[in-house]
A and B are shown apart, each in its own frame.
Chain A
Amino acid sequence: MQNNSLKKIFLWFAIIFVVIFSLAPALWQLLTSFKVNEDISKFPTIYFPTRITLSHYIELFTRRPFWRYILNSAFVSILSTAFALGIGAPAAYALARLRPKGQNIVLAGVLVVTLFPGILLFLGLLEIVQFLRLGNNYLALIIPYTAINLPLTILVLRSFFEQLPKDLEDSARVDGYNTWQMLTQIILPMTLPALVTTGILTFIFAWNEFIFALTFITREDMKTIPVAAAQLSGASTFEIPYGPIAAATVLGTLPLVLLVLLFQRKIVQGLTAGAVKG
């Protein structure tokens, strides 16, 4: 009994430590975004503000087209995710089920591609973007985001398709489903958890990506949140606008948090929906 409660206490300490350790930076940004300018730069540091202000947020929307940035980010991220899933799911299905010749080579290729650090692709992509005159075009972001996330999408979905019982598809075929109907009405609904997981990963990547967005897009009204947040500047070169930056960070993170919370429920639902065998 004694031992047990001691264990519990340790467990709770560990949990609290991990939570603080991982959430503190985010919390710091959140608190900073509500502090008045004076409190931000005050010494000794004020951890929990007594004077709360929304002025940093208001500034973001009045002095800058922040709505526009959010829309840009959302547009690019949603399309990249849709393309990654739209191309990746059929590809993964083909690799898992149709067993084409040379599928091992394809898989190895897919795997090797994931090993490249993104920065290596950067110069090449820049050349391509210039050549195709895609600068300041959303496609300059959507295409690389989709491409970079395709390998992971294909690998994850392929292994998921492989564990789906083959009988289910046979049964669907006997019932009269054609390949497309089978994919959309039988297989994809069952693959929802995997789709959501890979989709969220792609979305987060596209939402947070910085270098491509910084280089390929220079027009003010097409910038995405990470770039916009990084380029916030104060009244003079020597002033760093901590408040607006914190506010921008919070606004940039909030949609992701909401998204994950929303779909987390979906993932759990999908997993508990009922397996084939008992």
Chain B
Amino acid sequence: MAKLELKNLNKTFSGKVIPVKDISLSVEDSEFLTLLGPSGCGKSTTLRMIAGLEEVTRGKIFLGNEDITYKGAGLRNMAMVFQSYALYPHMTVQENLASGLKLKKVPRTEIITRVAEVAELLGLEELLGRKPGQLSGGQRQRVAVGRALVRKAEAYLLDEPLSNLDALLRERVRADIKQIFSAQKAPVVYVTHDQTEAMTLSSKVAVLNNGYVQQLAPPADIYNHPANLFVAGFVGSPQMNLLTLPCKGNSVILGDFAITLPKFSNLPPQIVLGIRPEHVRVALPEDTQTVKGHVYLVENLGMYKLVSVHVANSQTESLTIRALLPPEQNWHDEEITLALPSQNIHWFDVESGNLLVKK
């Protein structure tokens, strides 16, 4: 149907408050783009600009080659699901679903069939006569999604639609949302601060921070090849181990141990080593790149144990590496030897935070 495109979008509230500095993105039909970032990173403001709820200070928004930057929210033919669901409390579910269509002067018979279709898809048939006040949280959420779907919009915008649900329900609804929206032939933009949602739902993730896109890539790439320190630290739970270490020759000094560096064009005096806890394992005899350390904290996560280790160090500063180990894994006393497989280590520049590319 239509491609959604943002070009150098900027939103300035005042000299000091600039939630969105420069964001360029494009979302194709049936693509599911997630804007992921911590609170205050500009993701909601970006979404609101796409919806037309917030004026654009600079930049352009295109929907299917049409410049909609200054078009009113109601004329954009986009549908949005809000975090608070924003159902009209004085209308029944049926009226809530039909309200947008009525305003667009869709013929009555078509409204009825489309509402019935959506109600069937979402299992809302029984609830059509009720008012939002008589619905549970999950039901309200479905009505909110239904109100967007019934519009057959050219783009769907979802603003943290799952954050008001309890954990169990959230998982189920997440799966539903994935199914429902992958069947829609339209771009979907989803805002969340929850990386699990971003990872599971999206075909593309834009990690935002500080008003800029930090990385725009499919979820697997975001996880496996974080473009910079921020993405590396934000995506993945438990968080990636990030250690700022001095370089010496062609290796870095990690406590009493040396880790071989890949070949870089010019070697900085310091470098950030990043490795995910799930990639750190207990060393086997054939491992070459290992560090010894002292276990000081074990957190049992059920499937795994999250083990925090002080790396043996003759210097005073303490270096901590966290490893996600299978629960049956044992070690002697509190001493442990960990292997850091070099293919799983990410190297970042200390100054810029960017990933250092291997030559």
Binding site for B on A (CB under 8 A): 165, 167-168, 170-178, 181, 186, 189-190, 272-278
Contacts and interface: CB of A to CB of B under 8 A. Distances in A.
Nearest to B134: A274
B3 to A, nearest CB: 20
A175 B74 contact: yes
Interface residues of B, number: 37
B100 interface: yes
Nearest to B99: A175
Interface string B285-317: 000000000000000000000000000000000
A167 B83 contact: yes
Contacts of B82: 167, 170-171
B140 A278 contact: yes
A274 B132 contact: yes
Interface in B81-104: 82-90, 99-100, 103-104
A178 B89 CA distance: 19
Interface string B251-285: 00000000000000000000000000000000000
A172 B72 CA distance: 12
Given A165-B84, A174-B79, A175-B74, A273 B90 contact: yes
Nearest to A277: B84
B73 A174 contact: yes
Given A189-B90, A190-B90, A273-B131, A174 B74 contact: yes
Given A171-B82, A174-B52, A276 B74 contact: no
| 4 residue pairs, one from A and one from B, having the closest CB atoms | A274-B133, A176-B74, A171-B86, A175-B100
15 contacts: A165-B84, A167-B82, A167-B83, A167-B84, A167-B85, A168-B88, A170-B48, A170-B53, A170-B82, A171-B88, A174-B80, A175-B74, A178-B74, A273-B131, A274-B131
B51 interface: yes
A177 B147 CA distance: 14
Given A167-B86, A274-B90, A278-B136, 13 more contacts: A167-B82, A167-B84, A168-B86, A170-B48, A170-B53, A174-B157, A175-B147, A176-B75, A176-B104, A177-B103, A178-B74, A274-B134, A276-B89
Contact of B52 (A173, A178, A181, A276): A173
Interface in B109-162: 131-137, 140, 147, 151, 157
A170 B73 CA distance: 9
A278 B73 contact: no
A221 B137 CA distance: 59
A273 B53 contact: no
A165 B133 CA distance: 15
A175 B87 CA distance: 11
B89 A174 contact: no
A273 B88 CA distance: 11
Nearest to A172: B88
B321 interface: no
A173 B54 CA distance: 11
Interface string B34-57: 000000000000001001110000
Contacts of A273: 89-90, 131, 133
A278 B73 CA distance: 28
B96 to A, nearest CB: 10
B20 interface: no
A275 B89 CA distance: 6
Given A165-B84, A274-B132, A175 B89 contact: no
Nearest to B48: A170
B84 A276 contact: yes
